[in-house]
Structure 1
Amino acid sequence: MQTDADSTPAAPQKGAPTTPATAPSNMAANAPGQLRVIKRNGTVVPYNDDQISIAMTKAFLAVEGGVAAASSRIHETVEKLTNQISSTFRRRMPSGGTIHIEEIQDQVELILMRAGEHKVARDYVIYRTERAKLREAQKNLSRTEFKYPDVNVKQADGSLLPLDVIRLNTLVTEACAGLSHTEPSAILTEAMRNLYDGVTEDDVNTALVISSRTLVEREPEYTYATSRLLLDKLRCEALRFLGVADKATQSEMGKFYCEALPAYIEKGVELELLSPALKEFDLDLLGKAIIAERDLQFTYLGLQTLYDRYFIHSDGVRIELPQIFFMRVAMGLAEREEEKNERAIEFYRLLSSFDYMCSTPTLFNAGTLRPQLSSCYLTTVPDDLHGIYGAIQDNAMLSKFAGGLGNDWTPVRSLGAYIKGTNGKSQGVVPFLKVANDTAVAVNQGGKRKGAVCAYLETWHLDIEEFLELRKNTGDDRRRTHDMNTANWVPDLFMKRMFEDKEWTLFSPHDAPDLHDLFGKAFEERYEEYEQMAAEGKIRLFKTVRALDLWRKMLGMLFETGHPWITFKDACNLRSPQQHAGVIHSSNLCTEITLNTKADEEIAVCNLGSVNLAQHVEDGKLNKAKVAATIKTAVRMLDNVIDINYYSVPAARTSNMRHRPVGMGIMGFQDALYKQHIAYSSKEAVQFADESMELISYHAIEASSELAAERGSYGTYDGSLWSKGILPIDSIKILEENRGEQFIEMNHDTTLDWDTLREKVKTQGMRNSNVMAIAPTATIANITGVSQSIEPTYQNLYVKSNLSGEFTVVNPYLVRDLKERGLWDNVMINDLKYYEGSLQKIDRVPEDLKVMYATAFEVEPRWLVDAASRRQKWIDQAQSLNLYIAGASGKKLDVTYRMAWYSGLKTTYYLRALAASSTEKSTVERGSHNKVASGDETNVMASGPAAVPQACSLDDPDCEACQ
C-alpha cells in the first residue's frame, strides 16, 4: 500500500515517544490472489501491507509514545489489526483485484474504531484531512496561471529535460503546507524570473530557496518554507548517492527513510566514515522508527547549518539526511546499551523532537570511527619545561578532535624568577602563552572550525598585569596572543581588598607554590603569611599594588579587548561537590565547567547537552512531567558519552572514568519567556529562572542517582558533598561561611521535596560527580531554532553571520503580537531596520510590547545577574553568562561585576559593551520613518548601509567548542 500520493501516512507526532513497535513482515508476497493498489495519480502497484503496519505503528506512537511498557502492546496490536485489514480485502477478492488507496485508508480508520483505539483513529482522521487539503492546494496551484519560461534543465549526466513544472508546484506547495501566512505563488513567481535555458537542477533549487528566504523579513514563517525547499536538494544529493532514489518529495520520505538508513550505514562503513558497530543494530526496525515529518521542524538557518557543518560527507557529497543524522547520533550513543535498539530509538526521538540536543562534538562524531564526543578539557600546566611543552602537545591532540580547552597557567613562575637549572631568570608565563596561542591556530578542530583555547591566571600571579594586556593591538607583538581567550581566576580575598580599598601583593608561584591549591579561609591565612614573609625580606620577588587600581585595569582591558573574562576561584571551589578529590584551578573555554585538574595526572573532561526549555512550555506553563522525562533520557545519553568517548590523551580518560562528570544545560530561555508573555526585565523572569532551574536540577540529580542504582556510583563518590547529603542548594552556606555573609547575598528558597532527594542520593549514590552546566549553545540553538542558552534577544530583526553564511533573523513572537494589533507592515519592517531591531523609538508601538521585546542592550545588567544568581544556586558547576551593558562606562562595569561576585556567581563570560554614538542611517525602501531624524543618537554594535542590521558574532565559531 502506497502513501498519500503514494503511501498511508502516519498521524502527526505529538510527543517524544521513546520506543517503537516493530511492524509485521510482508504477508502479501504469498497471497493466493494478487491484490493491487490504485494510487491517486492513477498508477497501479502491488499491494504491500508493510506500509499499513508502518503507518499504524507511527499513529500509535504519536498518541501513546514509545515507552518500553507500551512497546509490546503496540507491536501486538498493530500486527493483529494489519492482519485483519489484509484478511478483509482477501475475503472480498479471493482471486485478486484492485483496491483504491482511499478504500485502504477507510479500512484503517474503521478497524481502529472497532478495536476501541479512538484517540489513534481521531488523529489518523485529522491527518488524512490535512493531507487532502494539501492535495487540493496543489491542484489549485497547478491551475494558477504562471508565466513559466520555456527552458530545459541540465541533468546530472549532461542531458536536457523540460522544466518539470508539476514537480515544482508540488515542492513549493509542500513547503508551504501548514504555514498559514505563506503564499506558494509568491515563491514560484520570483523563482521563475531567475531561470534560463540550460539551468542546472541545483540552480533550480537555489532559485526557489533564494526566492523564499528573501521573504523571511516580511513573514517569519518563510524560514520554514525555505528550509523545506532546501530539503529537496538534500534529498536528491543523499538518496542518489545511496542508490535509493533519484529524487523524492517530502511526502515520499516515510518510505524512503526506511530504505535509506540501511544503505547509509552500509556505505558509511564501507567508506570508513562510520563505525562497523552500527551494522549490529536492527536497521529495519530503526528505519521504521524514523519520523519523516520531523524534517519540517527546521528553520532555514538550522537546516543550512546542519548541511554545511554536521552532515557526514564523501568527496563533498552529503550522504546524511536530517533524520538519518539524528539516528546516527542516537545509535552512536546507544551502542553499548544492553537493549541497544530500544535505546537508540529512545535517544533518536528525543533528539529529533528538539526537546534536547547534544553538544557539537557529540553531533559531529557519534557513531564514527573516532567518537570524540566530549566538549571541554581543562588542564593544569606544570612549572617545568618538559611539562609546559607536554601540556601544549596535549592541547594540540585535544583540539584535533574538536575539543575546547581551558588551561590553568598559574603554576608557571613569573618574569624574573630564578631558574636553578641554568642559574638564570625566567621570561615568565607570557612567551609560553604565545606558543599556546599559535598552536590553537595551527591545529584546528578536525578541519571543521578553528582551535579554541582559554588561558587562566590567578590574580596574585606576578605576571598578572602583563597577562591583562595579551589581547591588546599595541605593544610588542611577541608578547601578545590575538587568537587565544584569557580569563582572570580571582580569589575572594582580592575582591574583599578591592571593596575595602586595600593593598594587594603579587607573588611568583615559585615562591608561593601552595597558594595555587588553597581556597577559602585556608587561602586567606596562607596568603597573609606570604605577605608577612615579603615584609620581613624572606621573599624578594614580589610587588605591592592598590587592589582597586588592579581591578580598574582588569575592567579597562575587558572593555577595550573583551578579555580577560572575570571568574571567581572560591565560589567555584567552595561549592564544588568534589572538594575532597582535588582543586578547581580554572574553568573551560566558555566558563561553565568547574572541575578538578592535576598536572601530569588528570585532565578534566566535560560532556555537554542542553534541554530546550521552549519546547517544554505548553499552554503558558512549564510542563514539569515532560521536563522530568526529557532529563531522565538526556542524563543517560550523557553518561554513555563517557564510556564511548575517544580519548586522545590518557590523562583525560583517567579523569573522566574516575569522576564521570556531565553538564546538563538549557537553551531557549528567552523563547520560554515569550511563550509565557514574561518580559526579560522583570521579577517574573527572575522567578522563572529560579523555578525552572530548580526543576532541572532536581531531576538531573535524581536521574544520576537512579543511574548509580543501575550502574554503580562514580569512583570518587565517597567523601564528596553528595555522599554527605549536601546538594548544590546546600553548598551556598559553605560559601557564605568562608566569604562572610556581608560579602554575599543569595536566595535560598525552594519549592520541591529536596529532603527525599538528599536521602536517595546518600543511599543510592551518584553516577556522575557533576551533572549541570549551562553552555553557550549558539550552534545547537541555531539547529533547533531557538534563542541561545540563557541569552536575551539580541535584536528583533538582524542578519546572523556564521560559517554557513548570512541569515535574516526576525523575532516571530514580536511579529505575531504586532499582527494582532494591526501594526505589522512594510513601514514597521523599515523602522526595525533603521533602529537595529529595537522598538524603543517607534512611537506607534505600545509600551507593553516595548517592554516585552526589549533587546539585549535594553535589558539592564542587574536583571541578567539576578536571574543568573537564581540559577547558580541550583547548579553544581557554572553558566556561560554574557553581560550586555549599553552606554558602557567604568562605573557601570564596576557596579555590574561587583554585583556578579556579590550575588554568588562563579563565572562570567563575554562582556558585550555598547557605547552611545551618532550614526548615519540608511534605508532600503523609500518612505518616511516613524518620527526619525538622520543622525539621531542611538546605541549601535554594528552599523552601515545594509538592509538589515548585522549582528555581532554572538555565535563566533571560535568559541563553539561547547555549543
Structure 2
Amino acid sequence: MSPSRSSNALASDNSVVSLNQKYGQASTDLFQVRKRSGEVTTFDAERIRVAISKAFLAVEFPENSNAIIPERIHQIADQLTAQVLSVFFSRMPTGGTLDIEQIQDQVELALMRDGHQLIARAYVLYREAHALARQASKETQDQNEPEPAFEVQGENGQNWAIDRQSLIELIKPLAIGLEAVDLKEYTALIFDSLYQGIAQAELESSLLITASSLIEKEPEYDALAARLLLSQIRQRVAGTLQLTAIDADALATVKASLAIGIENKLINPQLAEFDLAKIAEAINFEADKQFSYLGLQTIFDRYLLHVNDQRIETPQLFFMRVAMGLALNEADKETRAIEFYQLLSSFDYMASTPTLFNSGTLRSQLSSCYLTTIPDHLDGIFDALKDNALLSKWAGGLGNDWTPVRALGAHIKGTNGKSQGVVPFLKVANDTAVAVNQGGKRKGAVCAYLEVWHLDIEEFLELRKNTGDDRRRTHDMNTACWVPDLFMQRLEAGQSWTLFSPDEAIDLHDLYGKAFEKRYLELEKLAEAGELRQSRQIAAKDLWRKMLGMLFETGHPWITFKDPCNLRSPQQHTGVVHSSNLCTEITLNTSDTETAVCNLGSVNLPAHLKANGDLDLEKLQRTITTAVRMLDNVVDINYYPTEKAKTSNMQHRPVGMGMMGFQDALYKKSLSWDDPKTAIFADQSMEVISYFALSASSDLAKERGVYSSYQGSLWSKGILPIDSINLLENARQPGQLQMNLTQQMDWPALREKIAEQGMRNSNLLAIAPTATISNIVGVSQSIEPSYSNLYVKSNLSGEFTVVNPWLVKALKAEGLWDEVMVNDLKYFDGSVAQIERIPAAIRAQFATAFELDSESMIVAASRRQKWIDQAQSLNLYMGQPSGQKLDEMYRSAWRQGLKTTYYLRSLGATSTEKSTVQQGSLSSVAPVAQPAICSIDNPDCEACQ
C-alpha cells in the first residue's frame, strides 16, 4: 500500500472525513473530558485517532519522526477509534463525563483486541513514563510545600492525625517479606483519597479496598490485604474481650473468649473444663498469616462467633474451639484437641462447613449431608418435608429419593381418585427449602432424585425450565436422574424403554443389577399383556436426548448411576442406595425408617507434596490418621435433628474423606490435564488416601470396636473398593466397563489387618466440592480444573479478585508479567490460550476448564473412583457443547465406572470486562460467571463444604 499522509498531518485533512463527522458530531457532543487537573473540556474523537497514529509511528519508525505514514496506519487508527467510541456510546448512550485515564484505557484495549500487542505495550510504557514524570514533578512541588496531615476520627472517641509518612510507617510492618508490594505507590493511592475528619472505619476500608484492587497487578497485594484485615480483626476482638492485645497473654485471651461465649449461650460450657493453660500454650497466633484475603474474610464473615455483631474469637481461637469440640469425648481431651487444632490450623486438612460452624457450640450439628427416601402416602410425605425443614435448619444439605411416590393419574385406593403425581410435592419441597434457611447463615438446599423408569420422569426433567406452568416448576431445587445400567444398555442397543408407576412396580426401587433386569422384564410383559393400569413405552434414545437437552438448557437434572452405587457399596447387606446427596458424592442406604448421614472433611493435597513433586507418604499417613479420628468423633458428638438420622449414623458410622487442591497439585508438579501422567497422579494420590483412611478406621475399630452393622458387609468379606469393581463388571455385559485396575500399595497386608480388626466406619471416602473450605485454605476447589486465571469471585463475603499465583510465577520467570499481560488476561477472560507471546508449554499447563477435553477429567475421575467406597462431585465442562459431544461424554462416564456426575458447565456470555487495571467503572475486573455449586451460596457449595 502506498504511503500518503505525512506525520505532520496527523489531524484530519481534506482527504479524510473528520472522525467527529463520521461518528456524528451530535453524538460526541454528549461527552466531556475531565483532565488530570480536574478541568472539564469538550470531547474530540480526533484526538484519539491522533494518539493511535502516533503510537504506531513511534514503534514502526522509531528513528524517523518525519516519516510518511502509510495509509494502512490511518485506516487502522480510524477503525480502532471507532471501537473506542462504540464502547462509550454503548455504555453511556445519554452522554457523560469521561476521565482521560478511561479514554486511554480503552485505547489500550482496542490495540490489544486488534492484535497490536507491541503497539499496546509501547503505549502502556509511554503512559507509565508520563505518570512517573508527573509524580516526580508533583514530588518536587511537594518538597516546597508543607506535608498535609488529616485528622482521623477514632472509634474510641480519640482523634489522631495522619500524614503521608506516618501512613507508610503504619503499613510497613504489615508488608515485611512482600517484596513486590510498592508501599510508595500503595500509600499514595490511599493518601489521595483522604479528607479531614475521615472516620477510622472508612480509612481501614480504604486500606483494604486499595490493596485488593492491586491484586490483579501483583498477587502479593493479596497477602497485604489479608494482613490488614487480620490486624483489624485482632483489634476489634481484643476490644470486645477487654484485652490490650490478642497475643499478649494467650491464657487470658482463651478464658475471655470462652467466658463471653458461654455467658451468651454460644459455646458449650464443657470447653471451660479443659486444662486451659495447656490449650492456650498450643495456640499459634502466627498461623493466621497464611490466610489469603478471601479466606480470612470468609472466616470473619461466616465462622467466627459473635455477640451483637462483635466477634469474640480470632481465627486461631476459632480453630481451637472447633478442635476442643471434637475432642470432648476423648480420654486425654487436651492432647487430642491440640492434635486436632494443629491439623486444622496448618491447613493440611479442613473439616466441613457444618463442623466448623457448630463444633464446640451448644447445638453441635456437625454433619454435612442427609439422604432420605420419601414414602408413598401423605403422612410419610409430609413427615419427610418436616424432616427436610429440621435438617436444613441446622445446616444440612439434603438429598431426597422421590421414586416411591406414585405417578400422575395413578389410582388412590382410599379415595378412589387419581394421583397428581410427584411434581406437586416437589414444588412444596422446593418452597420448604427456600423458607427454612440454614441457621440464618445460608439458604437451604435440596436435591430430588427420581429413577428413570418412573412414569413422571419426563415432567421431572422439566422442573427447572423457565417456561411452562410455574406451579409445576421448582426453580430453587436441584434435580438428578437415578439411572440403572439396564437403561444404558437399552440406549447402547437402540432399544425401547418402558415407564411404570411405582404403585405397580415398587419392587424395582429396591433392586439393582441382574435382579433389577429380571423384574423389569417381567413388568414389561405384564404391561404388554394389559395387566398394569399405567405404563408407557418410549425409545431409550428419545428419553436420553431429553435428559441431556434439559441438562444443557437448565443445568439439571444431573446424571447419576444406580448400579455402580449399589454393586460397589460395602453395605449391600443392610439396604439399598436409592439416591446420592445434594452434591452427588455421598452414596448411602436410605429407607422409610432410615435417614443416611455423612460427615465430611478434605485433605489439602498440594500440602502433602514434597519439593520434587512426589507424595509425602509419611505426612499423608499422619494427617489422615488424625482426620479419620476427628470424623469418627463427629458421629458421637453430633446433634441429630431427627431420630431416623441418629439411628442410621450411630449404627453405620459413615464418614466421607475427600481432597482439595488437585489443580494446585498439578501446578506444583508442572503437569497439564492432557498429560497422561495426570491420570496416573489422580490414581496414585487417591490410592494412598484410601489406603491410609481404611487403615486408620481399622485401627479405630481395634481401639473402639467395629460399627454395629459390620458383619455381612463387603469389608467383613475381605472385599475392598478395588475388589468391588469385579462385582460391577460381572453384572454388565462384556466391554461395558473400562476401569484401570493397577495398584501400588500393599493391599494384601491391609486386607489381613481388616480381617483381624474390622472397620470402625461403614464408608470412608467421598470427594465433596469444598468450595468454601478451599477458599479458607487458599487452594483450588476439590478436583476441579482452573475455571479462569483472572476473575472476580462473588459470594456472601463480597467480591474478590482472584489471579492465578502459579501463572504469575511462571510468567515472571519468563519476564512476561506486566500490565499488558494483565490486560490480555482480562480481554481473553482469564485464558492464556490466545496470548501467543506466552510459551506453548505454559499455555498448555494453564489451560482453563472450558479449553480441556472433558475425557481427561472423566479418565482422572475413573482412576480415583476405583479407590472410593462412595463417589465424587464431578463437574463436567464443555466450551462448545453439541448433542453428540454430550452423548459421548456421559456414555463415557458410565463405561468408565463413575457412580455420579454433577453439574454440566457450558461457556456462557458473561465474561471478564474488557478493560485495564486502572481504577474506575470502566476499568475493573468484572465478576466471571462462576460454577453454581449446590445452588446455596452461588457460586459456593455451602451444604457440603
TM range (shorter): 0.7 to 0.9
1:363 aligns with 2:345: no
2:598 aligned partner = 606
Residue type at the aligned position of 2:557:
P
Q: How does 1:242-253 map to 2 (within 5 A)?
A: 242-245=241-244, 248=245
Aligned-pair CA distance for 1:949 = 5.3
Aligned-pair CA distance for 1:853 = 0.3
Pick the aligned partner of 1:725 from 714, 718, 724. Answer: 718
Pick the aligned partner of 1:883 from 872, 876, 879. Answer: 876
1:454 aligns with 2:447: yes
How many residues in Structure 1 have an aligned counterpart in Structure 2?
797
CA deviations on 1:237-284 (whole Å, 9 max, x unpaired) are 111000112xx5xxxx54344431111001100011101011011112
1:873 aligns with 2:872: no
Aligned-pair CA distance for 1:168 = 5.0
Q: Residues 885 and 914 of structure 1 are in contact (CA less than 8 Å); yes or no, is this contact kept in structure 2?
A: yes
Q: Aligned equivalents of 1:148 and 1:648: distance in 2?
A: 63
Q: Residues 822 and 917 of structure 2 are in contact (CA less than 8 Å); yes or no, is this contact kept in structure 1?
A: no
Residue type at the aligned position of 1:960:
E
Q: Residues 453 and 498 of structure 2 are in contact (CA less than 8 Å); yes or no, is this contact kept in structure 1?
A: yes
> When the two structures are superposed, what TM-score results if normalisation uses the length of structure 2?
0.82
Q: Aligned equivalents of 1:661 and 1:282: distance in 2?
A: 31
Q: Aligned equivalents of 2:340 and 2:352: distance in 1?
A: 14
Q: 1:902 to 1:918 in 2, by over 3 A?
A: same
- Judge which range, 182-191 or 837-846, deviates more: 182-191
Aligned-pair CA distance for 1:540 = 2.5
Q: 1:920 to 1:299 in 2, by over 3 A?
A: closer
Aligned-pair CA distance for 1:189 = 2.2
Residue type at the aligned position of 1:187:
Y
Pick the aligned partner of 2:384 from 376, 391, 394. Answer: 391
1:82 aligned partner = none
Q: Residues 357 and 612 of structure 1 are in contact (CA less than 8 Å); yes or no, is this contact kept in structure 2?
A: yes
Aligned-pair CA distance for 1:622 = 1.4
Q: Aligned equivalents of 1:348 and 1:148: distance in 2?
A: 48
2:239 aligned partner = 240
Alignment RMSD (CA, Å): 2.0
Q: How does 1:50-449 map to 2 (within 5 A)?
A: 149-163=148-162, 169=168, 171-245=170-244, 248=245, 254-449=247-442
Residue type at the aligned position of 1:602:
E
Q: Aligned equivalents of 2:159 and 2:722: distance in 1?
A: 69
Give the ranges of 4+ consecutive aligned residues of structure 1 lying more than 6 Å apart after TM superposition. Answer: 144-148, 164-167, 917-921
- Judge which range, 161-170 or 659-668, deviates more: 161-170
1:504 aligned partner = 497
Q: 1:262 to 1:171 in 2, by over 3 A?
A: farther
Q: Aligned equivalents of 1:521 and 1:836: distance in 2?
A: 49
Aligned-pair CA distance for 1:171 = 4.8
Q: Residues 490 and 497 of structure 2 are in contact (CA less than 8 Å); yes or no, is this contact kept in structure 1?
A: yes
1:697 aligns with 2:690: yes
Q: How does 1:492-571 map to 2 (within 5 A)?
A: 492-571=485-564
Aligned-pair CA distance for 1:952 = 1.8
Q: Residues 176 and 183 of structure 1 are in contact (CA less than 8 Å); yes or no, is this contact kept in structure 2?
A: no
1:800 aligned partner = 793
1:588 aligns with 2:581: yes
Q: Aligned equivalents of 1:258 and 1:659: distance in 2?
A: 39
Q: 1:259 to 1:169 in 2, by over 3 A?
A: farther
Q: 1:946 to 1:278 in 2, by over 3 A?
A: same
Q: Aligned equivalents of 1:878 and 1:273: distance in 2?
A: 35
CA deviations on 1:719-739 (whole Å, 9 max, x unpaired) are 000001100000000000011
Report the 3-state secondary structure (helix = DSSP H, G, I; strand = E; otherwise coil) of the residue aligned with 2:735. Answer: helix
1:947 aligned partner = 925
Pick the aligned partner of 2:637 from 633, 644, 658. Answer: 644
1:922 aligned partner = 914
CA deviations on 1:142-166 (whole Å, 9 max, x unpaired) are xx99996422222234342334988
Q: 1:276 to 1:148 in 2, by over 3 A?
A: farther
Q: Residues 148 and 192 of structure 1 are in contact (CA less than 8 Å); yes or no, is this contact kept in structure 2?
A: no
Q: Aligned equivalents of 1:440 and 1:576: distance in 2?
A: 29
Q: Residues 837 and 949 of structure 1 are in contact (CA less than 8 Å); yes or no, is this contact kept in structure 2?
A: no
- Judge which range, 288-297 or 694-703, deviates more: 288-297
Q: Aligned equivalents of 2:324 and 2:190: distance in 1?
A: 39
CA deviations on 1:447-479 (whole Å, 9 max, x unpaired) are 111000000000000000000000001111110
2:751 aligned partner = 758
Where does the alignment leave 5 or more consecutive residues of structure 2 unmatched? 1-141
Q: Aligned equivalents of 2:190 and 2:465: distance in 1?
A: 48
Residue type at the aligned position of 1:266:
A
Report the 3-state secondary structure (helix = DSSP H, G, I; strand = E; otherwise coil) of the residue aligned with 2:877. Answer: strand
Q: Residues 608 and 962 of structure 1 are in contact (CA less than 8 Å); yes or no, is this contact kept in structure 2?
A: yes
Q: Residues 624 and 692 of structure 2 are in contact (CA less than 8 Å); yes or no, is this contact kept in structure 1?
A: yes
Aligned-pair CA distance for 1:925 = 6.0
Q: Aligned equivalents of 2:147 and 2:506: distance in 1?
A: 78
- Judge which range, 741-750 or 558-567, deviates more: 741-750
CA deviations on 1:298-341 (whole Å, 9 max, x unpaired) are 00000011111111111111111010010111011011111000
Report the 3-state secondary structure (helix = DSSP H, G, I; strand = E; otherwise coil) of the residue aligned with 1:618. Answer: coil
Kindly, what percent of the aligned residue pairs are identical? 61
Q: Residues 799 and 951 of structure 1 are in contact (CA less than 8 Å); yes or no, is this contact kept in structure 2?
A: no
Q: Aligned equivalents of 1:525 and 1:629: distance in 2?
A: 47
1:810 aligned partner = 803
Q: Residues 613 and 672 of structure 1 are in contact (CA less than 8 Å); yes or no, is this contact kept in structure 2?
A: yes
Q: Residues 792 and 925 of structure 2 are in contact (CA less than 8 Å); yes or no, is this contact kept in structure 1?
A: no
Q: Residues 801 and 951 of structure 1 are in contact (CA less than 8 Å); yes or no, is this contact kept in structure 2?
A: no
Q: Aligned equivalents of 2:166 and 2:484: distance in 1?
A: 66
Aligned-pair CA distance for 1:921 = 7.2
CA deviations on 1:186-221 (whole Å, 9 max, x unpaired) are 332222222222222222221211121111001112
Q: Residues 370 and 396 of structure 2 are in contact (CA less than 8 Å); yes or no, is this contact kept in structure 1?
A: yes
Pick the aligned partner of 2:901 from 908, 917, 923. Answer: 908
Q: Residues 911 and 926 of structure 2 are in contact (CA less than 8 Å); yes or no, is this contact kept in structure 1?
A: no
Q: Aligned equivalents of 2:651 and 2:701: distance in 1?
A: 14
2:470 aligned partner = 477
1:709 aligned partner = 702
Q: Aligned equivalents of 1:199 and 1:499: distance in 2?
A: 70
Report the 3-state secondary structure (helix = DSSP H, G, I; strand = E; otherwise coil) of the residue aligned with 2:775. Answer: helix
Q: Residues 164 and 191 of structure 2 are in contact (CA less than 8 Å); yes or no, is this contact kept in structure 1?
A: no
Pick the aligned partner of 1:960 from 939, 942, 945. Answer: 942
CA deviations on 1:210-233 (whole Å, 9 max, x unpaired) are 121111001112111100001111
Q: Residues 492 and 568 of structure 1 are in contact (CA less than 8 Å); yes or no, is this contact kept in structure 2?
A: yes
Residue type at the aligned position of 1:677:
S
Aligned-pair CA distance for 1:694 = 0.2
Q: Residues 295 and 322 of structure 1 are in contact (CA less than 8 Å); yes or no, is this contact kept in structure 2?
A: yes
Q: Residues 673 and 679 of structure 1 are in contact (CA less than 8 Å); yes or no, is this contact kept in structure 2?
A: yes
Q: Aligned equivalents of 1:193 and 1:275: distance in 2?
A: 48
CA deviations on 1:44-100 (whole Å, 9 max, x unpaired) are xxxxxxxxxxxxxxxxxxxxxxxxxxxxxxxxxxxxxxxxxxxxxxxxxxxxxxxxx
1:837 aligns with 2:830: yes
Q: 1:815 to 1:733 in 2, by over 3 A?
A: same
Q: Aligned equivalents of 1:783 and 1:171: distance in 2?
A: 27
Aligned-pair CA distance for 1:748 = 0.5
Q: 1:788 to 1:420 in 2, by over 3 A?
A: same
Q: 1:697 to 1:340 in 2, by over 3 A?
A: same
Q: Residues 793 and 927 of structure 2 are in contact (CA less than 8 Å); yes or no, is this contact kept in structure 1?
A: no
Residue type at the aligned position of 2:464:
R
